[in-house]
Chains A and B, each alone.
Chain A
Amino acid sequence: MIDLNLPYLTEEHKSLAMLMKEFCEREVDLKKLNEIADQVIPPNATSAELRARMPWDLVSKAHDAGLRQIAAPTEFGGGGYGEDHVGLGVMAEVAGYYGGQLGRLFTIAWKQMAAFAYTKKDIAEEVLGDYMNDRKTMLGASITEPNSGSDYLFPYDEPGVTGQYLAKKEGDEWVFNGDKMFCTAGGVSNYLMLMARTEPKGPISKSVTQFVIDTRRPGWSVARVNDMMGNELVTNVQMHFENYRIPDRYREGPVNGAFDVMKSRLAGKSLHMFAVIGWAERTWEDMKEYALSRIQGGKPIVQHPNVGMLVAETDCMIRHCRLFLYQDAWEWQQIGQGQMRDVLGWYYINWYIKRVLMRLIEAGLEIYGGMAPQKELAFEHWVRLHLSIMHGGSTGGLSLVKAANIMARSGSPRPSDSNALYET
């Protein structure tokens, strides 16, 4: 059970959380969702095959309940909660706890649709109109490339670090040739928010442009599926562009200004972490129940210090992480428009949640003993999946490097605004 007695949560938030809880309890078969996600992905799977795996009927029910589209602006048919990061956060946490895989199924799309509140109206109408009418699509984002991961995520503006020259202007159109790498939900989305290098030689942070990509246009394809030890329902793909063309109006923000646009799209990233912490809480509770009922040496193993201490330690870390997330979400709301007030907090939570997950995995191995890797327990699926998705955004270490860099520049650690991001 999730404790909703937090000072961050209003009556409205709690009511929304209860709606999400009820939805998950009625509609979600946890084991079945895991089994769907664990289905073997055929080699050279196409977007059509990936889409066929998705539990679209569940997604459709979520739409009927208003949950699928709750983060989109009301003028485009959504619930209008895009700026309520605490509200979306608690719903994501509840979805992770009661719905497992469903958590990120919501947050992946919520994060993208929220930002349409401050983008070009015609694009917002097109993308969100399509999303409202087509209940068999997700919304995703694409940043990294096969040869440029941390190059983009840091970003490395050093001379010589270029990344692929992906998009060139031809008349009123942009032509894409090349590949994008880790794209969550890329294979099951009609539209993707994608950044592409548009200036061949300059520093990355000033050479990349943000686009809205329609995957149904000719020239786009799934190059390969990133088949991981634990796959999500939405899968993760590498994408290939071959003479892919879109009119200039699908450009978001100024040419070479993607990193400025990014600053307005960071808020909402913590939503994924809310979903993760929710599922982690459930995983921890299962561990605790096991420790209370498994008898060895004549007593429940929780009474053996090595186990008891692990149960307590991981509870502490999860509570900690959870409060950090809520504080973070609250911070996001203080400025709005996707702006972040506490950059350091943002990097720290990115690093910290990975520590929590790893410690929880270690604890599970110790507590469950021989049972840990058994397929009958939900634990092993959770482990495989979270080892696979943990580094969405960047590795933990990179987050700390970025935090350290900010302190090095400013001389002392203090909350600073989004402009501190990506300063070189």
Chain B
Amino acid sequence: MNIVVCIKEIYDPEATIESFRLDGAAKTLVSSAKVLKVVNPFDEQAVEAALRIKDKMGAKVTVLSLGNNLDRVVVKKPLHMGADELILLEDEAYVGGDSWSTAKALSSAIQKIGECDLVLCGRQAADSNAGQTGLGIAEFLGLSCVTLARKIDVDVDRALIERVITDGYETVEVTLPAVVTVSNELGQARYPSIKNIAKSNAMKPVIWKPSDIGLGPEECGASGRRLQAIDLFLPVFEATCEIVKGETLQEAAQNLAVRLREERIL
């Protein structure tokens, strides 16, 4: 069983706005303080999904990541969790893409990898919030795609997937090879293991430039975008919170009820 998991390196989604400043020209947020880079949490869950299949029936898990100047501590985390190989699409040309150019590059890389029964991605990136890359990869590769998986069971040439819907979940059967995007309902990703950290320390990931995957630089990253970023701005929050107090917490609670009644809120 060969699984490819696509991961994205992003700024820590828990970081507050104070850690960033707006670069109006480049239309990005730049971290001004020491903001951590992490694996997109949904992608971590995709890695977890792959490892659960590996635990159950054996599989080779190859991790793929696109970007530039990627932090090895971040992109090796799936190896620390138990994945087998790491391939980086690392080049200036890959930067600034949209779902189209990103999916194009990733699917070209997956074609080069060759043997692949299952492609897993997180349902969306916590920064760009597009949720399209998995579907895009499936389109480029001519594969089926099932989104928002919370459980994946693989059996020879098909997968049985529970996917999240608003009121619950539905069970879907798909023939392999296929692309599946993973949602957080899958459950917590496992911790990296100390043994794997030590093992992968010296290892150098494979790096593929656009020419290695048969793409010209104009097809990648910002140049290959279909959707143009016109503007980026910070929304202004207007609410100023009235903190209701009291001699005791009980009194504060009562005062809150009174205030809300006064304002005809409750």
Determine if chain A interacts with chain B.
Answer: yes
Chain A residue numbers with a CB within 8 Å of B197 are: 12, 15-16, 19
Interface residue? B34 (CB, 8 A): yes
Interface residues of A in 1-56 (CB under 8 A from B): 1, 3, 5, 10-12, 14-16, 18-19, 22-23, 26
Complex formed: what's the CA distance from A67 to B194 in Å? Answer: 8
Digitize A59-75: 1 where CB-to-B-CB distance is under 8 Å, 0 elsewhere.
00000011100100000
Complex formed: what's the CA distance from A66 to B34 in Å? Answer: 28
Chain B residue numbers with a CB within 8 Å of A81 are: 194
Q: Is the CB of B73 within 8 A of A18?
A: yes
Q: Is the CB of A19 within 8 A of B201?
A: no
Complex formed: what's the CA distance from A15 to B35 in Å? Answer: 16
Complex formed: what's the CA distance from A266 to B197 in Å? Answer: 27
A66's contact among B33, B73, B76, B193, by CB below 8 Å, is which?
Answer: B193
Q: Is the CB of B77 within 8 A of A65?
A: no
Chain B residue numbers with a CB within 8 Å of A1 are: 33-36
A22's contact among B72, B191, B195, by CB below 8 Å, is which?
Answer: B191
Q: Is the CB of A11 within 8 A of B201?
A: yes
Q: Is the CB of A79 within 8 A of B194?
A: yes
Q: Is the CB of A12 within 8 A of B191?
A: no
From residue B104, how far is it (CB to closest CB) to chain A in Å? 30
Q: Is the CB of B73 within 8 A of A11?
A: yes
**Residue in chain B with minimal CB distance to A74:** B195
Complex formed: what's the CA distance from A66 to B193 in Å? Answer: 7
From residue A255, how far is it (CB to closest CB) to chain B in Å? 38
Digitize B79-120: 1 where CB-to-A-CB distance is under 8 Å, 0 elsewhere.
010000000000000000000000000000000000000000
Interface residue? B192 (CB, 8 A): yes
Q: Is the CB of A19 within 8 A of B72?
A: no
A15's contact among B34, B36, B76, by CB below 8 Å, is which?
Answer: B76
Give the interface centre of B76, B193, B197 by most chain A CB atoms within 10 Å. Answer: B197
A23 in contact with B194 given A1-B34, A11-B201 (CB within 8 Å): no
Q: Is the CB of A70 within 8 A of B194?
A: yes
**Residue in chain B with minimal CB distance to A21:** B36
Complex formed: what's the CA distance from A81 to B198 in Å? Answer: 10
Q: Is the CB of A65 within 8 A of B201?
A: no
Give the interface centre of B35, B73, B188 by most chain A CB atoms within 10 Å. Answer: B73
Chain A residue numbers with a CB within 8 Å of B198 are: 12
From residue B18, how far is it (CB to closest CB) to chain A in Å? 9
From residue B105, how far is it (CB to closest CB) to chain A in Å? 25
Chain B residue numbers with a CB within 8 Å of A14 are: 73
Digitize B240-265: 1 where CB-to-A-CB distance is under 8 Å, 0 elsewhere.
00000000000000000000000000
Q: Is the CB of B201 within 8 A of A12?
A: yes
Complex formed: what's the CA distance from A18 to B193 in Å? Answer: 11
Interface residues of B in 180-234 (CB under 8 A from A): 188, 191-195, 197-198, 201
**Residue in chain B with minimal CB distance to A2:** B34
Complex formed: what's the CA distance from A26 to B73 in Å? Answer: 20
Digitize B32-54: 1 where CB-to-A-CB distance is under 8 Å, 0 elsewhere.
01111000000000000000000
Complex formed: what's the CA distance from A306 to B228 in Å? Answer: 50
**Residue in chain A with minimal CB distance to B12:** A1
From residue A78, how far is it (CB to closest CB) to chain B in Å? 10
From residue B193, how far is it (CB to closest CB) to chain A in Å? 6
Complex formed: what's the CA distance from A60 to B77 in Å? Answer: 23
Complex formed: what's the CA distance from A18 to B71 in Å? Answer: 13
Chain B residue numbers with a CB within 8 Å of A5 are: 34
Q: Is the CB of B33 within 8 A of A19?
A: no
Complex formed: what's the CA distance from A14 to B198 in Å? Answer: 11
Complex formed: what's the CA distance from A19 to B196 in Å? Answer: 12
Q: Is the CB of B34 within 8 A of A3?
A: yes
B194's contact among A3, A11, A16, by CB below 8 Å, is which?
Answer: A16
22 contacts between A and B (CB under 8 A): A1-B33, A1-B34, A1-B35, A1-B36, A5-B34, A11-B72, A11-B73, A12-B197, A14-B73, A15-B73, A15-B76, A16-B194, A16-B197, A18-B73, A18-B192, A19-B191, A22-B191, A23-B191, A66-B193, A67-B194, A70-B194, A81-B194
Task: Apart from A3-B34, A15-B197, A79-B194, list 12 A-B contacts with CB within 8 A.
Answer: A1-B34, A10-B201, A11-B72, A12-B197, A14-B73, A15-B77, A15-B192, A18-B77, A19-B80, A19-B197, A66-B195, A81-B194
